[in-house]
């Protein structure tokens, strides 16, 4: 029998938390804290680990640093349009 290569499961944490949050009805603890995102995330991960049976698993989360467009300095050079975006696009031509 040939040796089996170790199996690694890579998990995209934010997408599963998002999916768990919106896939379930609001679940709360006794103090009112919403826990449906955590519950859904764990259900998905544990089910995946049961089905796949990996030797190793890694869950990745991003750091959440602001992007250039969300920083105040990044927005300073933008022109504001009081009307719709069409009129703004016409004025830039």
The pLDDT score that the predictor gives to residue 4 is 85
Q: Region 37-45: what's the mean pLDDT? A: 94
Q: Which residue has the higher pLDDT, 89 or 19?
A: 19
pLDDT over 90 (residue 60): yes
String of DSSP letters for 42-90: HHHHHHHHHHH--SEEEEE----PPPTTTSHHHHHTPPP-SS-HHHHHH
């Amino acid at each position: 029998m040939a040796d089996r290569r170790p199996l690694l499961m890579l998990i995209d944490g934010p997408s599963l938390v998002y999916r768990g949050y919106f896939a379930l009805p609001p679940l709360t603890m006794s103090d009112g804290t919403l826990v449906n995102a955590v519950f859904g995330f764990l259900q998905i991960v544990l089910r995946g680990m049961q089905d796949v049976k990996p030797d190793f698993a890694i869950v990745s989360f991003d750091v959440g640093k602001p992007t250039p467009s969300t920083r105040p300095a990044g927005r300073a050079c933008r022109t504001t349009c009081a009307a719709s975006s069409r009129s703004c696009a016409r004025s830039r031509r």
